[in-house]
Chains A and B, each alone.
Chain A
Amino acid sequence: MTIAGEQLQLRFEGKTLVTNQISFTVVPEKLAQPEVEERVVLSYHRSFENAQASAHRWQNLGINTEIVQPDRWQVWAKRSDYDNPLARQLLIGKLRLLGNNIAQIERKRLSSRPLLSWQVNGITYKGTNVDIVPQQSVTLVNQSPYAGSFRLQPNASGSFTVVNFVPIETYLRGVVPHEIGYQAPYSAIQAQAVLARTYALANRHRFAVDDYELCATTHCQVYAGLQNTSPLADRAIRETRGKVLTYGGKVVDALYSSTTGGITANYNDLWDGTDRPYLRAVFDSTKPPQKLDLSTESDFRKFVNTQEGFNEQGWRTFRWQKFSSLGEMTTTLKNFLAKSGDTRTRFSQIQAVQITDRSTSGRVLRMEVQTDRGTITIEKDEIRDAFHAPDSTLFYLEPQFNESKQLLGYKFIGGGLGHGVGMSQTGSYRLGRMGWSYERILAFYFRGTTLETLQPQMIALE
């Protein structure tokens, strides 16, 4: 690989080099003696929100924690507190006495450690941390354009992370069009810009363990750098510059999702932890809703079988039906349990599934799965991973039988796509087309919040 030029400044281990192209690979460096790497994994989660709630519970028991995302989100006992095998074994022993069978020691035998390797002017360098400071506005990373500077640094999962340092108003150019879509009405794009800005500022603690703030996927917000930016989104970002949603003087957890199914979810319908008073169920409709108690099965079924009168009506994701055979459900559930550190995977077949608790927004709070080896309970957000069929937790079940009255599986009948908390993106399309301003759209989905210009004291510290 040829490296020449003067556009990229590389800084590492006290050295500064200049080049215009650099290629990194990860190479193993053999250890003199194999090492064993251990950590205590306390719990496993589908989402950061539940990992954070779990971490608070562990901390209340006197166990300091770290939240990491090697695949699913995990809560680890803080490695610097449990830095020897005896301390880790004692912790596990104590947790078993408390009845916890999920926590476990993950052990990895290492014969080498990974190092970054790169070449400048024919000389090969190796290391673990490199800063790249471009001297121009746009830098290509694997052919994709980005603004700002970069750092390659090790992470808790044993690999490396490429971190982009980018001003928030530029970051939004890589988020807003990808999150709201290119066909959205202008006020919906403006609403998305405010939410993306607010969400980013309120969620900078997600990857504290690895010394960065946000990821670039739907676990945070989709961020594609300067790839496929949109003039309309750029305008919306510019015209809402610095505008954020606040509650009690702090930026809010500005959640949004694709489609709510006709009613947004309360924060605690999906996740444990501190309630957000501004994230309460809102009927996603401009007409006064019928008086329905969606926590009851009969009213809920009536609601899901209503197609008209909603902001999202007509979208493919608004209402759906999906059949899942017992075999498919068994496979998905076993995979889910295995990835969750749950050892109850030795059942041979699911025998029956039922919904045992539903929230006021109609979301399934708890499901019970009967197997030949006992009953397994799955709650809230985890339901979306435990069963293949549901696109959301807004559904009911219809058992399906063959002619001999033998249970074949279940039809999941529901609505929405995603968690359903906060703004409905598809709902905002309709409201925008009806002439609603972005201020009105935001006030509709986030009751009790204030739209104002960012001030330093609004950025909450976790």
Chain B
Amino acid sequence: MVKTILISWGLAGLLPLGAVSAETNPILKVGIIQRFGSKPTDR
């Protein structure tokens, strides 16, 4: 069980991102922590 998520700033300028285009470089939505706050169910 993940109890806390800590999000903070990091280092700048490391990414060779290039141009972001919706057609050739679309934005993906990726679940990096899928079940934050889940606990054993009482079913």
Contacts and interface: CB of A to CB of B under 8 A. Distances in A.
Contacts of B5: 23-24, 141-142, 152, 162
Nearest to A213: B29
A21 interface: yes
A165 B22 CA distance: 13
A5 B10 CA distance: 12
A143 interface: yes
A163 B35 contact: no
Contacts of A225: 32
A210 interface: yes
Interface stretch (A57-65, A168-176, A408-416): A168-176
A7 interface: yes
A163 B29 contact: yes
B10 to A, nearest CB: 3
B30 to A, nearest CB: 5
A136 B37 contact: no
B9 A147 contact: no
A223 B5 CA distance: 18
Contacts of B14: 137-138, 226
A142 B42 CA distance: 28
B9 A8 contact: yes
A347 B12 CA distance: 60
A454 B31 CA distance: 24
A211 B34 CA distance: 12
A7 B9 contact: yes
Contacts of B35: 70, 155, 157, 159-161
Interface residues of B, number: 37
A155 B34 contact: yes
Given A238-B16, A454-B24, A210 B31 contact: yes
A28 to B, nearest CB: 9
Interface in B1-43: 3-18, 20, 23-39, 41-43
A25 B16 contact: no
A298 B31 CA distance: 45
A146 B33 CA distance: 12
Nearest to B37: A26
Contacts of B18: 169, 241
A147 B12 CA distance: 10
A167 interface: yes
Contacts of A146: 32
Contacts of A167: 17, 20, 25-28
A139 B31 contact: no
B26 A20 contact: no
Contacts of A114: 37
Interface stretch (A93-101, A104-112, A377-385, A419-427): A104-112
Contacts of A204: 28
Given A158-B38, A226-B14, A140 B9 contact: yes
Contacts of A242: 24-25
B30 A138 contact: no
A147 B8 CA distance: 12
Contacts of A137: 10-15, 17
Given A108-B41, A157-B38, A159-B35, A223 B8 contact: no
Given A141-B7, A148-B27, A212-B29, 19 more contacts: A20-B9, A21-B6, A137-B14, A140-B7, A159-B39, A161-B31, A161-B34, A162-B5, A163-B31, A166-B30, A167-B17, A200-B28, A207-B31, A213-B29, A213-B30, A214-B30, A223-B32, A238-B16, A459-B26
